[in-house]
Amino acid sequence: MQMMRKRYFPALAEYIRSDKEGSLYQAAELGKELTGIQLDDVIAIHEDCMQTLVSNVDSEEAVKMYNRSFIFLIEFMVAYRFHLLANQTNDQKFTEMREMLLRSNRSFEMVKNKYENVLQHMDSGIALFDSEGILSFINLQMAKHLDIPRKTLVGCNLPEILRHPQLSRYTRKMILRLYKEMLLRRTRNYEFQDKDGHHLLVTVTYGDQLEGDFLFSVKDVSEYKQIEQTALQNDKLAMLGRIAAAIAHEIRNPLTSIRGFIQLLRPYLLQMGKEEYARIILAEIDRANDIIYEFLNSSKPSAPLKKAFSINLLIKEVALLTESEALMRNCQIELQLEGDEYALIASIDMKQIKQVILNIVKNSLDAVAERESDDIGIIELSTRADGSYVEITMKDNGKGMDKATLARLFDPFFTTKEEGTGLGLSVSYRIIRNHGGSIRVDSVVGSGTSFIIYLPLAE
């Protein structure tokens, strides 16, 4: 078996990768040379070799490689059997060939079923249409995207799929959009976001590569998108830090000079009875310096000074601080905390995390106040353990946000408020990241917004 695999694998790999029909000669020669092996052994070796070859390729390439491998396998088996029949009578050959055909059909079906099983359980959705537009294959993941049993789809053309009684209106619109972009406009790749917020990448392969067939694959690229957005967000925050440092430096230098000259002029102002002017000027310069320091610190938060602290206790303090403002805005703050005050202990910089939660709660108060409804506003603060993390959820029934706002929510200087600076949430994002945690937002226009923060629990 091992010796056969050493000869079979390179011949199969060369045929699949070279894409030349002349490479089939090796399959025929190999079939003539090898003796004393069983067909089941051949199939097992072929399957093992194919798993090695497709281990590092995408789903589309894997399908093409499997298709080509069948031709190599059949060529090998035919050559092998004819070599064994060379010395037999015509009757023996006929009987043997009939049995061989039956066994080959069974073996082919077995190999086909095994490979189909591999395709069925891939994480990418796969659908194959033949040259006449009939769906000949669809795997479980693709059927899951369509939310229709796969057995009811095979054999249907596109109009029949669109008229399928179980197809949702949203999915029907999406299929029509994909048809327009990928078949009419000949776009090979198309990326979109589904109703659940997942980023999906659709790829189509057609033409000579598949002999007139159309292969569609759908892959969930949400994780890649999140990594990309995190990297972009970090770049923006780094740029903000550099801008803030430059601004602070350029403004502080003239303020220092002005302060020095005012102090030199102070005796003369005292003689004129205007010392109060000097005191006011110096106080305003100090206030300007404080504002610059605050801006610099907010755009680039200092490293957290972590201590073990109760998250439930922190949430209660924030609720107490914002309770009076909430009442004035016809809003009610509700707490749903898991365990007692000391149940969820995290290693955090208490001041920084309090700054984050206060900022989000105040944003929720603004969102509730901007509703058109006269119903009482509700802000729900909840905590719970989630593995090695504590989950903090801040949910309101405010006006909510659209997708465009959500996409830029953590960008520096982006704000929807007339008097906002656009720094609050970008700073909050960096503070949470500096604590080894994460923050995400779910929002629906007219229904409200939820901020979910994850922080590592203390060991």
pLDDT computed for residue 311 by the predictor? 93
Listed range (15-19, 135-139, 348-352) with the worst mean pLDDT: 15-19
User: What superfamily in CATH does domain 125-220 come from?
Assistant: PAS domain (3.30.450.20)
What percent of the chain stands above pLDDT 70?
A: 83
pLDDT computed for residue 437 by the predictor? 92
d(C-alpha 329, C-alpha 325), whole Å: 6
Q: How confident is the model at residue 286 (pLDDT cuts 50, 70, 90)?
A: confident
pLDDT computed for residue 155 by the predictor? 87
Whether 108 and 118 have beta carbons less than 8 Å apart is answered as: no
Q: How far is CA 56 from CA 51, 61, 424, in A?
A: 10, 10, 44
Q: Quote the longest CA-to-CA distance of the chain.
A: 133
Most confident segment among 24-33, 59-68, 314-323: 314-323
pLDDT at 258 over 70: yes
315-349 pLDDT, tens per residue?
999 998 888 888 888 899 999 999 887 789 999 99
Sign of CA dihedral 133, 139, 142, 148: positive
Q: What is the mean pLDDT of the chain?
A: 81
Whether 25 and 72 have beta carbons less than 8 Å apart is answered as: no
Q: How far is CA 163 from CA 59, 159, 169, 216, 367, in A?
A: 28, 6, 10, 20, 42
- The whole-model pTM stands at 0.47
pLDDT at 144 over 90: no
CB contact set of 108 (below 8 Å; sequence gap of 6+): 70, 74
Q: What is the mean pLDDT of residues 12-17?
A: 81
pLDDT computed for residue 182 by the predictor? 81
pLDDT computed for residue 230 by the predictor? 72
Whether 278 and 269 have beta carbons less than 8 Å apart is answered as: yes
pLDDT computed for residue 224 by the predictor? 80
d(C-alpha 57, C-alpha 226), whole Å: 23
d(C-alpha 312, C-alpha 383), whole Å: 7
Which CATH entry fits the domain spanning 307-456: 3.30.70.2190, 3.40.190.10, 3.90.400.10, 3.30.565.10?
Answer: 3.30.565.10
Whether 353 and 428 have beta carbons less than 8 Å apart is answered as: no
pLDDT at 115 over 70: no
| Six-digit token string for 355 | 């700054």
Q: How confident is the model at residue 141 (pLDDT cuts 50, 70, 90)?
A: confident
Residue spans per domain, the chain: 2-120, 125-220, 232-299, 307-456
pLDDT computed for residue 381 by the predictor? 95
pLDDT at 284 over 70: yes
Listed range (95-104, 123-132, 249-258, 370-379) with the worst mean pLDDT: 95-104
pLDDT computed for residue 439 by the predictor? 92
217-243 pLDDT, tens per residue?
898 888 887 777 777 766 766 676 677
CB contact set of 433 (below 8 Å; sequence gap of 6+): 234
76-114 pLDDT, tens per residue?
877 776 666 555 555 655 565 566 566 655 655 665 666
**Rg of the chain over CA atoms, in angstroms?**
34
125-220 and 307-456 in the same fold? no
Listed range (139-153, 175-189, 236-250, 406-420) with the worst mean pLDDT: 236-250
Q: What is the mean pLDDT of residues 172-177?
A: 89
Q: Across the beta sheet with 448-456, what order do the strands follow?
A: 331-336, 377-386, 389-396, 448-456, 438-444
CB contact set of 22 (below 8 Å; sequence gap of 6+): none
